Amino acid sequence: MKVPPILFRDQRFVVLNKPTGLPVHAGPSGGPSVEDCFPLLSRRKDGPWLAHRLDADTAGCLVVALRKAALLAAQECFESGRAGKVYWAVVRGEVRGESGRIDASLQRRSGRDGWRMIVSPTGQLAVTDWRVLGRATGLTWLEVRPKTGRTHQVRVHCTQLGAPILGDARYGGGDGGLHLLAREIHLPLDPTVDATAEPPLHMLSALRACGFAG
């Protein structure tokens, strides 16, 4: 497969602009994944490695480590909360207020229809900061900064605002492609790692309705 667009590269890392719908690694049923392009990123025998994860339906900044020392340094940034992560989400509904924080622990629950993450006092700590970037009738454009890295955290926390992400079939936002972008990544290493991803095509109409000028 082709390498997704590269947003940042040095001897330690590559930051890819992961397309919507592409898993980062192959699931039980196989199929294409970001890992398929790893031989094109480095010829080293001991890598590359994913430094973190993105949902298959989430587009945007994905950090790949090219060296083991770089992997460990990046993982420490993510695990300690020092990594700066900025997401853009277009949600269904008109969110009240202009900014806030969601502190709602998350737990995985399995059922006949598969698994999903739910808010639970016995779950893992999950904290997300948000602010409104724009509005349209029935839609709100949010900047979201997750302070922890739980599975589906942004998606579930948006439902806590009463505003599921547009296109999120699992958590109540309907179909048409998930309107969630890993917009920026910042790793406070020496030298720093910084990358910004442009919105995918399927998000542009809703973003422009909310005031995005790109």
Point out the residues that are catalytic: 55
Distance between CA atoms of 159 and 156, rounded to whole angstroms? 5
Q: In sequence order, which residues have a C-beta less than 8 Å from that of residue 134 and are 6 or more positions away?
A: 140, 141, 207, 210, 211, 212
Return phi, psi of residue 33, to 5°: -155, 170
Distance between CA atoms of 189 and 200, rounded to whole angstroms? 28
For residue 111, give both structure tokens: 């059922």
Distance between CA atoms of 99 and 40, rounded to whole angstroms? 42
Q: In sequence order, which residues have a C-beta less than 8 Å from that of residue 150 and are 6 or more positions away?
A: 106, 117, 124, 126
The closest alpha carbon to 130, from 107, 96, 102, belongs to: 102
Please name every residue paired with 109 in a beta bridge, in sequence order, or none if there are none: 116
- With 0-12 / 13-18 / 19 or more C-beta atoms within 10 angstroms meaning exposed / middle / buried, residue 110 is exposed
